[in-house]
Structure formats: C-alpha cells, structure tokens
C-alpha cells in the first residue's frame, strides 16, 4: 500500500473532476451540484467506461465520479483498467442502496476505488436532490486534497494540542501493550476502511484472545457484506452485530449500518445493544458512541484503534477512554487514505502509538 498524503492544489488552481455516468440526468445533476463550489472544476463527462478512459489523458482529472452500471464498459471494468495506468487519480463510486449496488461497491473498493456515495432516492424535488448530492459528494472529493496556502485545520470542536512524539511499533505488538491486561479491542474507521480491514483482519491469529468491536461508517447492507468478505479471509468469527449478541473472545462484531452499537454487561456476560438515537458527528453508527460504552463496560481494560477516515468521529470517545486508562492507537498518515479521524486523535496527544497498518 502506497503513501496516501493529500495532494496539494496550487494557489488559484481547482480540483479537476471527470463525471462518468450513462445517465444524462445524473451527469447534469452532478455538474450543477459541483460547479457551485469555486474550488472544483468539471473538466468533462463520459457516458461509459471506455469513453471515460479515453478522456483521462486529454482532461487530466484529479477525481473521477464513476457509475457502476453502464453499457459497453461498466464502472468495475473501467476501474480495473484505470488502476493499471493511473494510480493517483481519486475515484468515487456512485452506488445504489440495493443488495446488488452494495455488492458492486464493495468490489469496487477492493479494486482501488477511494470512496463512494449513494445515489439520492425519493428526494422529492430537484432542489432537495441537489442539496443532498452537494452535501455528500463535495466533502468526499475535498477530503483528498489540500489547497496551497491552507493548513489542514482540525474539524470543528477538535481540541488544539501538540502531538505526542510518534511511537512506531508493529500493530500486532501494540495490541498487547495496554496498561492493564486488555479484555477488548474496539476500532473506528471510515474512508478507506474496507481495504484497511481487509489487510488487517487476516493478520490477526486464529487464537486471538479478545473480542474485536468495529464501527465502520457504512449504510445498511454494506456492513453485512463487509462482514461476509472479512469472514472469508479469517478463522476468527466475523458477524454484523445483532441486538443481544454476545461479545466473546475471538469474535469480530461490526456495527450494522444506521444503528449505533453499544456494549453493556448482562450478569457475567457482555452483550451488544443497538439503537437509532440521533447521529453523532453526522454518523450512525458513530465511533464515539461505541467508545463511550466500551469505557463504561471495560474501563482501562480496553484497546482503542482509530483508523483511516474523514472527520473527527472517535476523538471524544478516545478522550474518554484515555482518561480512564485505556490504550489508544492511531493509524499513521502515510498509510491512511484520509488522515482525518486518526489525525485528530494523534494531534490531540491521545495516541499511545501512531502506527502504519500496511507494509
């Protein structure tokens, strides 16, 4: 896995976007949604993958928005070809909230897509569809870039603090270095998560003695498919968490899309509680929600890892865990697709170790 540092756009420059979609309506909608932002430039569009590929050397895009289902050459076929020659172009997939759409999106992420957005459905009006698309797509494009002269400011509400010296330790070693004997590992992850987890989970030994709880920012269906993909590559038990599921050694539980996941004690056991309380950090599931419940249930006997992702979800939860003696790990910038979530944890001085998760 290469270095994912943000690309700097020179002063006065704009992020160049190529739209590849067979729907004229979607191409126009995306164009109108994006052209209102002065830092973005729509350099062209294409109705299928083969035409999209032909236009890359002509238009030199920084980002491609890519539909999955198209005639002649679909999005997955284009992505396979694109990654052979264009490693640095960021690709954001357009997905539908269907089983087929979720499965294709998971495949796209494994082929090298950087992120995805789900197509707005039943928005009721053009204005609402535009607002929804603008609010979802523009931040996902900008997360990969830094405008010259700007500094990477922390998200609103993130504390300004001097980062602790970076401690480079192997990820496996860090899982056993908690201040008290650890009883659980909890992870928060977003953009780049499926690829990161796909690399991390198979390296965890089959006799790993702790439960692993994961919040990956994803909608319904996507989290179940993620669990199934991870299960295919590990001897540990991987499940999309269900209400009342037992938290047990050697079991990996992934928060289901659109539900917060908490853990609590029930007699001598620990179980999962799911709810649809309001989103936190615009997320449901939210990492902060899981981390707070882990602190309430395990206290210092927890290891928390904040991995690649946009925003600051996990920061407040990491603060709570750290204050009660838990061991906190942040992924380093070089191996993060987006150093947002782990970056704010590291820069707040909360990380006991800042580690590369890929070699």
Q: What is the pLDDT of residues 342-359, one digit of tens each?
A: 999 999 999 999 999 754
Q: Are 142 and 178 contained in the same domain?
A: no
Q: Do 137 and 255 fall into the same domain?
A: no
Which residue positions in the chain have pLDDT lower than 70? 1-5, 120-125, 149-179, 358-359
Domain count, the chain: 2
Q: Is 203 exposed, middle or buried (0-12, 13-18, 19+ CB in 10 A)?
A: exposed
Residue 81 sits in the same domain as residue 187? no
Q: How far is CA 52 from CA 48, 82, 213, 315, in A?
A: 6, 9, 40, 39
Q: Are residues 298 and 182 in the same domain?
A: yes
Tell me if 123 is assigned to some domain: yes
Those residues whose C-beta lies under 8 Å from the C-beta of residue 31, and which sit 6 or more positions away, are: 19, 42, 45
Domain shared by 27 and 129, yes or no? yes
Indicate the residue among 113, 147, 181 that finishes a domain.
Answer: 147
**What distance in Å separates the CA atoms of residue 4 and residue 88, rounded to the nearest whole number?**
9
Q: Output the pLDDT for position 4.
A: 57
Residue numbers annotated as active site: 190, 217, 313
Q: Which two tokens stand for residue 156?
A: 């609103």
In a domain, 50, yes or no: yes
Instruction: Say yes or no: 131 and 257 in one domain.
Output: no
Residues 273 and 131 in one domain: no
At residue 175, the pLDDT reads 47
Can you give the residue range of the structural domain that contains 56?
A: 7-147
Within 13 A of 18's CA, how many CA atoms are on the CB side? 23
For residue 76, the model assigns a pLDDT of 96
Provide the pLDDT for residue 149. Answer: 65
Q: Is residue 136 situated within a structural domain?
A: yes
Establish if 199 belongs to a structural domain.
yes
Instruction: Extract the tokens encoding 79.
Output: 């992505």
pTM of this structure: 0.87
CATH of the domain at 258: 3.40.50.180
Same-domain check for residues 139 and 230: no
Residue 183 and residue 294 in one domain: yes
């Amino acid at each position: 896995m290469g270095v994912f540092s943000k690309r700097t756009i020179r002063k006065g420059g704009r992020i160049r976007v190529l739209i590849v979609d067979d729907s004229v309506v979607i191409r126009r909608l995306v164009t109108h949604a994006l052209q209102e932002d002065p830092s973005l430039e729509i350099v062209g569009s294409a109705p299928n993958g083969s035409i999209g590929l032909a236009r890359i050397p002509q238009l030199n895009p920084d980002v491609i928005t890519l539909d999955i289902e198209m005639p002649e050459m679909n999005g997955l076929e284009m992505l396979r070809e694109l990654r052979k020659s264009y490693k640095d172009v960021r690709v954001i997939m357009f997905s539908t909230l269907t089983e087929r759409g979720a499965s294709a999106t998971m495949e796209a992420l494994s082929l090298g897509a950087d992120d995805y957005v789900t197509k707005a459905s039943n928005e009721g009006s053009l204005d609402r569809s535009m607002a929804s698309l603008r609010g979802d797509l523009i931040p996902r494009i900008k997360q990969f870039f830094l405008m010259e002269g700007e500094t990477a400011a922390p998200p609103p509400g993130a504390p300004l603090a001097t980062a602790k010296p970076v401690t480079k330790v192997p990820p496996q070693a860090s899982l056993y270095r908690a201040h008290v004997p650890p009883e659980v590992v909890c992870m928060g992850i977003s953009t780049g998560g499926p690829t990161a987890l796909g690399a991390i989970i198979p390296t965890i030994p089959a006799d790993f003695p702790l439960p692993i709880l994961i919040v990956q920012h994803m909608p319904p269906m996507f989290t179940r498919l993620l669990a199934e993909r991870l299960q295919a590559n590990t001897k540990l038990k991987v499940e999309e968490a269900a209400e009342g599921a037992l938290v047990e050694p050697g079991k990996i539980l992934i928060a289901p899309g659109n539900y917060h996941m908490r853990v609590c004690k029930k007699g001598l056991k620990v179980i999962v509680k799911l709810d649809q309380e309001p989103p936190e950090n615009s997320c449901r599931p939210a990492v902060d929600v899981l981390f707070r419940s882990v602190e309430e249930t395990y206290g210092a006997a927890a290891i928390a890892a904040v991995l690649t992702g946009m925003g600051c979800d996990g920061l407040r939860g990491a603060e709570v865990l750290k204050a009660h003696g838990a061991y906190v790990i942040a992924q380093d910038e070089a191996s993060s697709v987006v150093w947002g979530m782990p970056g704010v944890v590291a820069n707040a001085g909360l990380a006991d170790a800042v580690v590369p998760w890929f070699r």
